[in-house]
Amino acid sequence: MMTLTYILAAVVLLGLCIFIHELGHLLGGKMVGIKARVFSMGYGKGFIKKKIGDTTYQITLIPFGGYCQFYGDNPLEQREGKSYEFFSAAPWRRIVAVIMGPVFNLLFGVILFFIVSVYGYSKDTNQILVHSDTSSPAYSAGLQDGDIITQINGRRIFGFDDIQNNVIFSKGETLNIKVLRDENYYEYKVTPAKPAGGGYYLIGVLPYGNRVVVGDVIEKEPAYLAGFKFMDQLVSVSGIEIDSPEAFTSIIKDKAGQELSVEIIRNGQNKSIDVTPRLDKTISIDGQTIAYSGFLQKVIADHYLEIDGKIIYSYDFLMDYAKANEGKTVTLSLRGEKKSGAIAIHERGFLGIGPAIAPDMVQVKFTPFEALKQSFIEPYRFVVFNLKGLGMLFSGKLDVRENVSGPIRIAKIAGDVAYYKGILSFIILMAKISIILMIMNLLPIPAVDGSHIIFYTIEAIRGKPLKEEIMLRIQTGGIIILIMIGVAVILNDILMLPIVQKFFN
């Protein structure tokens, strides 16, 4: 059942978003009198075909997306000079046919946001947990665990994503945050800050929750072998109640080699699992454990771990270095975040579980008028968010490998959302993916819609098209670059899959 859900989610998400894009091209062409030769649902040879007017409509065996082929859309082929041919049409008509693909992706996203806003959906709560250290702007300003953020700069807050949007788009300017605490309202001034390694502005808060769940299960480790699964709720360990990820980790770290009985809740039913933590060796700085060994091995493989300015290339070398320098002050850089202090080898019990807080959820529902406003506000914020993200990727402020997703990773995300969060969250994801397709297609990259719009705009201004040889070279070069990027993205998707990472670790 789970596998089928993942496959259907991927087919529906990617297939429908691409189909909507191509439908935009088809209808855009019809608006300005450019006729389509073939409109295909899917790629490959059609097994169901029907010709209506001058257009052949078909469904293929490969269900992902589709395409719209216009008459006379190949600049190298002989044309008859008919007004309905793509390259025989005036530049503005071609621009309409091209731009309607991205426009339909945007409209599709707006419609989906409107539907879920009227129907009502769940989102992460606007009640917060505050990072309790001086690097957290929220903690320094006086916010507390359990506070409910109701307004930021006068804007109403419905869920945690509203908090994130306001903070990310703050440009680091001080925010006026209104919170509800013990039935009383309080206002604080909080100045967002960027982490040491760069990235988006943050204020150091997480969505509130009191359910501790399994966020990750590492293959071949004790928890995996004992039968723990993703999203199992951790209730107690040998009778000791679990109220935080730290509480669970604290119990396990002192129980290496001891059999424990862990009570969980899975699909609404209580279950007990017997498991024995193994002894794990990692390192600590000033007594604070840096990370479990599997994570350290991953960042070492990615060359993201440095000690005293030296890149660490193997876990064994790390352990040897820690042993040789035990008690000495070192500077460790983990993914750009630096910590200085006395290094030591740290031993603890280890199950191979990544415990996490499951955020509480709030139900959000709007009147039709409010939903209409929200259906434009959400896409606008999402577009700005992604454009800023693209800028950070190109400037090196965000890690490309972790922040760029191709079809494989998108398909996995679609499956995760559909299986664990339900249909409404899946619809919201589809709206966001459709909007991302709009953004990517409007970029001035050769071989995508954005470059065609630029070419036809130049042609309209000059009164004549660019030389076909120049356009062909630009587009051919662009296609080669896109293929190379596509291969790299797909390979990165495969390497980022948990099963592959576990294999290499």
Q: What is the pLDDT of residues 142-175, one digit of tens each?
A: 999 999 999 999 989 999 989 988 898 788 899 9
pLDDT score for 114: 95
Instruction: Give the type of residue at 60.
Output: T
What domain range includes position 269?
211-357
Banded pLDDT at 478 (limits 50, 70, 90): low
| pLDDT score of 337 more than 80 | no
Both 217 and 341 in one domain: the answer is yes
pLDDT of 191 higher than 60: yes
Mean of pLDDT values over 261-277 = 91
Res. 363: pLDDT tops 60: yes
Give the whole-number percent of the chain exceeding pLDDT 70: 88
Q: Give a yes or no: residue 151 inside a domain.
A: no
Pair 342, 411 in one domain: no
pLDDT tops 90 at residue 277: yes
Higher pLDDT, 455 or 133: 455
Look at residues 112, 96, 21 and name the one whose alpha carbon lies nearest to residue 376. Answer: 112
Across 109-118, 195-204, 455-464, which has the greatest mean pLDDT? 109-118
Mean pLDDT of 405-416: 72
Q: How confident is the model at residue 402 (pLDDT cuts 50, 70, 90)?
A: low
Q: Is 192 a member of any domain?
A: no
341 phi, psi to nearest 5 deg: 160, -175
Mean pLDDT, residues 45-49 taken together = 84
496 in a domain, yes or no? no
Residue 446: CB atoms within 10 A of its CB come to: 20
Would you say residue 223 lies in a domain? yes
At residue 505, the pLDDT reads 46
Distances (CA, A) of 276 to 77, 230, 238, 247, 456: 70, 19, 12, 17, 67
Q: Band of the pLDDT at 499, cuts 50, 70, 90?
A: low
Residue 38 domain-assigned? Answer: yes
Q: What is the mean pLDDT of residues 389-404?
A: 63
391 CB-near residues (< 8 Å, 6+ apart): none
Do 296 and 416 lie in one domain? The reply is no
Shared domain check, 423 and 289: no
Q: What CATH number has the domain bearing residue 301?
A: 2.30.42.10
Q: Which of 443, 464, 497 is the last residue of a domain?
A: 443
In a domain, 82, yes or no: yes
Residue 504 pLDDT level (bands cut at 50, 70, 90): very low
- Alpha-carbon distance of 282 to 294, in angstroms, equals 9
Q: What value does the mean pLDDT of the chain take?
A: 84
Question: Based on the number of CB atoms within 10 Å of its own CB, is 220 exposed (0-12), middle (13-18) or buried (19 or more)?
Answer: exposed
**Between residues 138 and 134, which one has the greater pLDDT?**
138
How far, in Å, CA of 1 to CA of 80, rounded?
54
353 in the same domain as 283: yes
Asked if residue 429 and residue 306 are part of one domain, the reply reads no
Q: How confident is the model at residue 61, as a pLDDT? A: 80
SS3 category, 446: coil
Q: Is the dihedral of CA 6, 8, 12, 14 positive or negative?
A: positive
Predicted pLDDT of residue 106: 95
Confirm whether 132 is domain-assigned: no
- CA separation for the pair 175, 127 (Å, rounded): 17
**Residue 452 pLDDT more than 60?**
yes
Q: Please indicate, yes or no, whether residues 252 and 329 belong to a single structural domain of this protein.
A: yes
Q: Distance between CA atoms of 59 and 41, rounded to whole angstroms?
A: 5
Question: Is residue 176 in a domain?
Answer: no
Residues in the chain, total: 505
* 30 has pLDDT over 80: yes
- E-strand ranges in 157-255 read 175-181, 184-190, 205-207, 211-217, 233-237, 240-241
How many domains does the structure of the chain reveal?
A: 2
Same domain, 230 and 325: yes
CA–CA gap between residue 291 and residue 334 (Å, rounded): 10
Domain end point (choices 391, 414, 443): 443
Q: Which of 428, 443, 458 is the last residue of a domain?
A: 443
